[in-house]
Amino acid sequence: MPWFSEQSDRITAERLEELMHRTAEEARSRICTKPKRVLLLPPDITRMHSGAGRLTEVLYNIFKDEAEVHMIPTLGQHVPHTPAENRTMFSSIPEDRIHPHDWRGGCVHLGEVPAEFVKKATGDAADWPMPVVLNRMLIEQRWDLVINVGHVVPHEVLGFANHNKNYFIGLAGKELICASHMAAACCGIENNLGTLTTPVRACFDKAEDDYLDDLPDLYVQIVLARNEQDELVQTGLYVGDDPDTYLEAARQSRDQNITALDEPLEKVVCVMQGDEFFSTWVANKAIYRTRMALADQGELIVIAPGLKRFGEQEEVDRLIRKYGYVGTPKVMEHYRSDPMLQDFAHAAAHLIHGSSEGRFSITYAPGHMSREEIKGVNFQYADITETLKKYPPDKLREGWNELPDGERVYFIPTPSAGLWSTKEKLFGRNV
């Protein structure tokens, strides 16, 4: 069970700070009375809207006078923060205490989740081992206390984000990221989304039991929801060191962050915030979180003012440009024949996740990419100035909106904060 939890229509900033002080007191009581070296593991800037950055700052300031405190944003294979982005998300934490995760050169191999376990967990969808390759600083340095801070929200690989995702994706090496993402793609993204324990999470749970059991860690799990004023606010906080800390937060997220619709949506307009989402690698959350709601032959429009690339690395960006979001059969054909795509298997998984499988159209209105680039990866293109004029985010509310010209659209201001599905797809799937 969690050490403690709190649920409310809105947990204020002041109350969250009080709860971080309680977290520190509980950690001193249960894990280490006088910690001398503390490691904080928050999400990266793509979760900035969650407020996790501020909670991490509070924890840093609680411990900084008694301990040497370091922080590693759990980037996975995302692009490391710039100093300016660190200041934006963690304004009071010194830059020399913030360490970028190096997913290719900065990890150590601990062992593996055996292929037999993976095969059973995935129902024979994947039959390869998952190498447990994790951040060198996490594993090789001595820590008296490790605090994971994260946002629990529907997720395309793990059903719901956070908990040990911080380790096995956020601080993982290339081998584990590739193996886990490809396994998730083989299981089917629509079987993963909004599921409490997906096959890949079951593999991560085993890896945590087998390789991180002695780590002096705990989890701070945040849940957000929209209130009656259409504001995204903190509504839940769960603190503890066991799987139930995640599961209770995920159940609240399932109740508050999944919108189950009676009928599919013909036209959806989303906004991916310009200060958080710079690549389709992360902006495609607009596709992941709405695909179960979109009607056959429906249309998804993604307004992405920060969009300037496809992949988070040059190699992945080239692969996305080369093959595009062309559906599972074609991606798998390319995967079997291209050693580069096999080497970056998570890119193949991403191409599968980001495809509509020809069922609905996807139109991007990007801030910094050309029509030729967008259409070259099998998306449709819209001019961002014209799109913002037609669908002004500051004048639309989440849900159905009727425009002055009579057009009716379903607007989602923060698709990364939830999941939208028809009831038929949500409750009738094979999970």
Interior/surface letters 386-408, b for 16+ CB within 10 angstroms, e for the rest: ebbebbeeeebeeeeeeeeeeee
Q: Which residues contact 108 (CB under 8 A, 6 or more apart)?
A: 133, 134, 136, 139, 140
**What is residue 331's predicted lDDT score, i.e. its pLDDT?**
97
Report the DSSP pairing between strands 4-7 and 361-366: unpaired
pLDDT-based confidence at 122, cuts 50/70/90?
Answer: very high
Task: Please tell me the number of Cα atoms within 13 Å of 41 on its side-chain side.
Answer: 30
Do the domains at 4-257 and 262-428 have one common CATH topology? no
Instruction: Kindly tell me if the per-residue pLDDT of 121 is higher than 70.
Output: yes
The domain 262-428 belongs to what CATH superfamily? Answer: LarA, C-terminal domain (3.90.226.30)
The answer on pLDDT for 37 being more than 70 is yes
**Quick one: DSSP state of residue 172?**
B
For tokens 């903190």, the residue is: 234
Amino acid at 262: D
φ/ψ of 56, rounded to 5, equals -65, -40
Q: What is the DSSP string of 368-428?
A: S--HHHHHHTT-EE--HHHHHHHS-GGG--SEEEE-TTS-EEEEES-GGG-EEEEHHHHHH
Tell me the C-alpha distance between 221 and 6, whole Å: 11
pLDDT digits (tens, 9 = 90+) for 301-331: 999 999 999 999 899 999 999 999 999 999 9
The reported pTM is 0.92
Domain 4-257 listed as CATH 3.40.50.300: no
Look at the block and give the residue holding tokens 């066991």.
Answer: 242
Q: What mean pLDDT do residues 384-406 have?
A: 96
Q: Convert the pLDDT of each residue in 292-304 to its tens digit.
A: 999 999 999 999 9
136/50 Cα distance (integer angstroms):
27
- Is residue 419 very low, low, confident or very high in pLDDT (cuts 50, 70, 90)? very high
Residue with tokens 């989402």: 277
Kindly tell me the number of DSSP H helices and DSSP E strands found in the chain: 19, 18
What confidence category does residue 429 fall into, taking pLDDT thresholds of 50, 70 and 90? Answer: low
pLDDT score of 431 more than 60: no
Q: What DSSP character marks residue 344?
A: T
Look at residue 430 in the predicted model and tell me its pLDDT.
Answer: 53
Q: Determine how many CB atoms are found less than 10 A away from the CB of residue 14.
A: 8
Q: Residue 158: what pLDDT? A: 95
Q: What are the DSSP calls for 203-260, one per residue? A: HHHHHHHHHSTT--EEEEEEEEEE-TTS-EEEEEEEEESSHHHHHHHHHHHHHHHEEE
Delimit the domains of the chain by residue range. 4-257, 262-428
